[in-house]
Structure 1
Amino acid sequence: MKFSSTLAALCISGLVASSLPAFAYSGESLAKDAKISLAQAQTIALSAQPGTIVDTELEHEKGGSSLRYSFDVKTSANIVHEVGIDAQSGAVLENSIDSGND
């Protein structure tokens, strides 16, 4: 009986996990070096610039600790802002209209 309960629980948890979307982003392999999680960085970015995140990167770039999350955030006016969050401190490093020239 204990075996069938365990098996049922494993099957249910497998179904739940498989229904969650896989969210991969550029630079995901650098996440182990970040003190701030992706979820925390997203919350900070959306506090700095409300909207919908349409692109995510974790990259080495000048400024702050040199490891930063970069989010493209689309506003309700369809303007895309680039919001940079320091992956070590959570500081907002950038919040500017994305020119699309990167």
Structure 2
Amino acid sequence: MDKKLICGTIAAGMLLATSAIGAHSAQSVPAAANLDMTKAIEIALKEVPGTVQETELEQEDGKQVYEIEILTADGQEVEVEIDAQTGAVLEVEADGDDDNDDGDRSAG
């Protein structure tokens, strides 16, 4: 067989394999957040008035979630989790609370 033909065939095969891997990877990436950080902060402050201390956009249980830490007027730190797609408040947790305490509000 001709070396040019063999090299061309191998190169074409590698290109197709790389394209297939890239397409699969793109499908694995979650959709971008519908809600921007500013709107998420606005929602969180309606839920818990105070001063925003920290914000993060994280992947949690297969969905993107904004975690917004707020310092209340009485000095308590509260974390509000907001679904980045829908804007729904998923959880409100005061610093020091364990998961599923009566003080927590969890959706689902």
Q: Same fold (TM over 0.5)?
A: yes
Runs of 4+ in 1 over 3 A off after TM superposition: none
Q: Number of matched residues? A: 69
Secondary structure of the residue that 1:77 maps to in structure 2?
coil
Structure 2 stretches lacking a partner, 5+ long: 1-30, 99-108
* Partner of residue 10, structure 1: none
* Partner of residue 73, structure 2: 76
Residues 40, 50 of structure 1: CA spacing in aligned structure 2 closer, same or farther, 3 A cutoff? Answer: same
- Kindly name which structure, 1 or 2, has the bigger radius of gyration based on alpha carbons: 2
- Which one scores higher on RCO, CA 8 angstroms, separation ≥ 6? 1
Return the letter of the residue paired with 1:91: A
Correspondence 1:54 to 2:32: no
What pairs up with 1:5-84 in 2 under 5 angstroms?
Answer: 33-62=32-61, 66-84=63-81
Cα shift readout 1:41-70 (whole Å, capped 9, x = no counterpart): 0000000110001011000012xx620100
Between the aligned residues of both structures, percent identity stands at 40
Q: State the 1:96 CA deviation.
A: 1.2
**TM-score with structure 1 setting the length:** 0.62
Distance of 2:76 and 2:54 partners within structure 1: 14
Structure 1 stretches lacking a partner, 5+ long: 1-31
Considering only aligned residues, what root-mean-square deviation do their CA atoms show, in Å?
2.2
